[in-house]
Amino acid sequence: MPGCLSFPQLSTHCPKLGSMEDAKGGDQSVTEGFPPASVGAERVTQQVPQEDQGQLLYHEETIDLGGDEFGSEENETISEDSHNFIDKLNEHMMESVLISDSPNNSEDDAGDLGCLQDVVEPVEGNADPSLASITAGEGMHTPSNGSETDTDATPRDVSDMTSDSKASLKEDSTQEEATAMPVFEDAGTEDLTPRGEKAPGEEQVPEASSSQSSKDEPVPVCTIFSQASAAPAQPHLFLHDGFESQMVKSPSFSSASEMSAKTPPQVVRPSPSLSRFFGDPVSTNSLASGFFDSFTTSTFTSVSNPNAGSSVPEKSSPLTASMGEKALDSPDCSYPAGVPRSESGTSTAAPEIPDSPRPFSQIQTVFAGSDDPFATALSMSEMDRRNDAWLPSQSTRDVLTAVATQQCGTVFIDKESLTMPGLRFDNIQGDAVKDLMLRFLGEKAAAKRQVLNASSVEQSFVGLKQLISCKNWRAAVDLCGRLLTAHGQGYGKSGLPTSHTTDSLQLWFVRLALLVKLGLFQNAEMEFEPFGSLDQPDLYYEYYPHVYPGRRGSMVPFSMRILHAELQQYLGNPQESLDRLHRVKTVCSKILSNLEQGLAEDGGVSNMTQENRQASVQLWRTRLGRVMYSVANCLLLMKDYVLAVDAYRSVAKCHPEQEPQLLSGIGRIFLQIGDIKTAEKYFQDVEKVTQKLDGLQGKIMVLMNRAFLHLGQNNFAEAHRFFTEILRMDPTNAVANNNAAVCLLYLGKLKDSLRQLEAMVQRDPRHYLHESVLFNLTTMYELESSRSMQKKQSLLEAVAGKEGDSFNTQCLKLA
């Protein structure tokens, strides 16, 4: 930035900074963009010339104090007019003021870069020719301190300068300059394009499920028909053409599944449109099972999800998927010979209401497993209703009402309002740790690295959880992909009509959540895209009245909505995140107010027991708190600290048990801004709150805050003392250990700092091989010696033994 030093101090028309105009190359991106932690030095210089704009704005803001109307000088005819005029101009212009730290410097117009040469020469004594050449070399350089990579790896020392030739020195200096500081490769998102577009279907259906699917072959549609007619006891028997069940379609019936369970006679009521409904060949394959589904689907789906608290073997999960696919894929199933398509009133052009998997054998299993299916169904549906409740948008609501009432035969739904997800990349399997081992430690060492992959575990939810808990998230993403492929939503299936089940959406949620956890935000965004705003009609249970009879609400897990909203902030669109979060928050608040008014979650009339109502209020309050948390986090990312602090305070109201942590967090936010006084105020509040509760955790929190406060006051020695005090109480405290080590470095005790971190990592590698700790460790290795590579590689070995494939290898700074 030549000329940046010579600002005219008292110019009249503000021509200053003119010399910087060339830097103006339109770099608005800096201000708009989400400022990353590290912005290169050169970007800042480009921001400077906003002068013109500033002036333009300024004319509107003049304060009328010594204004013209008072000034008697204005009309003075004799005084030096021109001078006067300039005075007036002066008053309207802002003067750019030369800033300097010492008054001595302020007066002299220090020269630009070229000047440096002159100064350097006399100072340098006998080495001056060489230094002169250095500055010349530098002059050609852009001031890109921040972005240059670590020069440590190739230290070229400018030694014995006098003996060296000028030319070589010049080359030397240009490469040597500036950034000996460790430069962290800007993390960004990992570049993970799909490796090779493999055929999507390959080995998609694991053996287990294929054997299962063969089981369901004996359940062709026609058989079901015959079964239905052969079993006169079943209510469905009454459903001949020309009959209609009002009950199924009534949009106003609440807690439907119970009703349908309790009052089968209602179903018998004749209704013409129902006949069409059942006449629809796609749905015909399940007259009998359809009925059972009214109890079992909910049981079944929750059963397949082992956490729902029911007792059916978990093995059932992959089965659903594979069978669902079967049902969709096989034309025999969809269009039984006996029923012509025209009769059904469906058109293949418009996506009909898709059918969902209804595994017949599964139902039997369920029945075998539970003594009182009706009771189970009732309690499950109560819980389901509570969890799944959601308020659809008006257009979605219309579609769902139409589906329920079947006004004009099949409901025609615009393809665009359907959810048609599919895997967008086939395989992100891979193990960065192993790749690094191959590169640095050789094949032999790499062969020792054994992590689970998608094939080495059971192809089910059990295997999936196993992969997640041992931190093999990449493999888990892969397994989710396989299970989804089995469900017909595999690679390349995006944009093709499909159907959704509770399980398929849970799988999507897990897959997308893991992608976010892995920092693969772009990938997550790609696969999230077909889900739109998570409000399409086919994501509601009401859309599948025969699969989930009477069940209402959204299939989308609440956590998936949060994920969907939060993802945008990681992609640099925090505003969009906020919009989405506020939409979720609005629904949560509305549901809570419905509950408080004695209505059901969705605003319908309800006869909930007090107990259930209380449980529901509890659940939705928790969810509201979760949304508030996300809003606060998002505002923090946006660096809108004032609003973020407000948001965290309202989170503290939702979670009073987290108040001390949240107050400490707010204190840290103020420390980050630099407002030490306010930070101290919050830390004092924490001390007041924690006084009431005794216990180690409170004490540690107080000490931690005190340490941070000293850090803010630049007192690393005191900060270190407090971190060490925490360690006396809780020697395994990773944060205190790490932070104490960081303080030691700032105190000039590199070796001590290293010892502390190394000791901690060795003590419990399973816990302390954390990204942040390893980053600090490798940074110090780089500072310590030129042989940091070896030490980093031994860290890699330690990581290889303990960490799964989700480990972020960037913190090792090996690449």
Partner 1 sequence: MEVNPPKQEHLLALKVMRLTKPTLFTNIPVTCEEKDLPGDLFNQLMRDDPSTVNGAEILMLGEMLTLPQNFGNIFLGETFSSYISVHNDSNQVVKDILVKADLQTSSQRLNLSASNAAVAELKPDCCIDDVIHHEVKEIGTHILVCAVSYTTQGGEKMYFRKFFKFQVLKPLDVKTKFYNAETDEVFLEAQIQNITTSPMFMEKVSLEPSIMYNVTELNSVSQAGECLSTFGSRAYLQPMDTRQYLYCLKPKKEFAEKAGIIKGVTVIGKLDIVWKTNLGERGRLQTSQLQRMAPGYGDVRLSLEAIPDTVNLEEPFHITCKITNCSSERTMDLVLEMCNTNSIHWCGISGRQLGKLHPSSSLCLALTLLSSVQGLQSVSGLRLTDTFLKRTYEYDDIAQVCVVSSAIKVES
Cα 486 from Cα 127, distance rounded (Å): 74
Contact segment (CB under 8 A) with partner 1 among 177-185, 266-274, 328-336, 547-555 equals 177-185
Q: Which is nearest to 582 in space by CA: 537, 536, 510, 533?
A: 533
Q: Which is nearest to 721 in space by CA: 699, 704, 698?
A: 704
Contact segment (CB under 8 A) with partner 1 among 172-180, 246-254, 257-265, 414-422 equals 172-180
| Distance of closest approach, residue 243 Cβ to partner 1, in angstroms | 37
Strand partners of residue 554: 540
Strand partners of residue 423: 491
Residue 554 binds partner 1, judged by CB under 8 A? no
Cα 283 from Cα 268, distance rounded (Å): 18
Q: Which is nearest to 777 in space by CA: 802, 764, 763, 759?
A: 759
Cα 628 from Cα 619, distance rounded (Å): 14
Residues 433 to 472 in contact with partner 1, rule: CB under 8 A: 461, 464-465, 468-469, 471
Cα 129 from Cα 590, distance rounded (Å): 77
Write the CB contacts of 414 (distance below 8 Å, at least 6 apart in sequence). Answer: none
CA dihedral 656, 657, 663, 668 (to 10 degrees): -140
Name which position in 303, 425, 665, 812 contacts partner 1 (CB under 8 A): 665
Q: Which is nearest to 247 in space by CA: 233, 257, 232, 237?
A: 257
| Distance of closest approach, residue 344 Cβ to partner 1, in angstroms | 35
Residues 765 to 784 in contact with partner 1, rule: CB under 8 A: 767-768, 770-773, 775-776, 779-780, 782-784
Judged by beta carbon, residue 341 or residue 668, the one nearer partner 1 is 668
Torsion-angle region of residue 425: left (phi > 0), alpha (psi -120 to 50) or beta?
A: beta
| Distance of closest approach, residue 474 Cβ to partner 1, in angstroms | 15
Judged by beta carbon, residue 380 or residue 399, the one nearer partner 1 is 380
Residue 787 binds partner 1, judged by CB under 8 A? yes
Cα 251 from Cα 420, distance rounded (Å): 26
Q: Residue 501 burial (CB < 10 Å; 0-12/13-18/19+)?
A: buried
What x-and-dash track marks residues 378-417 binding partner 1 by CB under 8 A?
-----x---x------------------------------
Residue 697 binds partner 1, judged by CB under 8 A? yes
Instruction: Tally the C-alpha atoms within 13 A of residue 597's C-alpha that lie toward its C-beta.
Output: 13
Residue 54 binds partner 1, judged by CB under 8 A? yes
Q: Which is nearest to 36 in space by CA: 181, 141, 146?
A: 146
Look up residue 342 and give its amino acid: S
Residue 790 binds partner 1, judged by CB under 8 A? no
Residue 69 binds partner 1, judged by CB under 8 A? yes
| Distance of closest approach, residue 50 Cβ to partner 1, in angstroms | 7
Judged by CB under 8 A, the number of residues near partner 1 is 183
| Distance of closest approach, residue 324 Cβ to partner 1, in angstroms | 16
Contact segment (CB under 8 A) with partner 1 among 441-449, 540-548, 588-596, 638-646 equals 638-646
Residues 712 to 741 in contact with partner 1, rule: CB under 8 A: 712-714, 734-735, 738-739
Residue 615 binds partner 1, judged by CB under 8 A? no
Q: Are the C-beta atoms of 370 and 299 separated by less than 8 Å? A: yes
Cα 654 from Cα 230, distance rounded (Å): 57
What x-and-dash track marks residues 79-118 binding partner 1 by CB under 8 A?
xx--xx--x--xxxxxxxxxxxxxx-xxx--xxxx-xx--
Structure tokens at 98: 């030369």
What x-and-dash track marks residues 468-497 binding partner 1 by CB under 8 A?
xx-x--------------------------
- Find the helix or strand (DSSP H, E) in which 506 lies: helix 502-517
What x-and-dash track marks residues 505-524 binding partner 1 by CB under 8 A?
-xx-xx--x--xx-x-----
| Distance of closest approach, residue 641 Cβ to partner 1, in angstroms | 7
Name which position in 662, 795, 799, 800 contacts partner 1 (CB under 8 A): 662
Residues 143 to 162 in contact with partner 1, rule: CB under 8 A: 143, 145-146, 152-161
Judged by beta carbon, residue 531 or residue 708, the one nearer partner 1 is 708
Structure tokens at 22: 């060339």
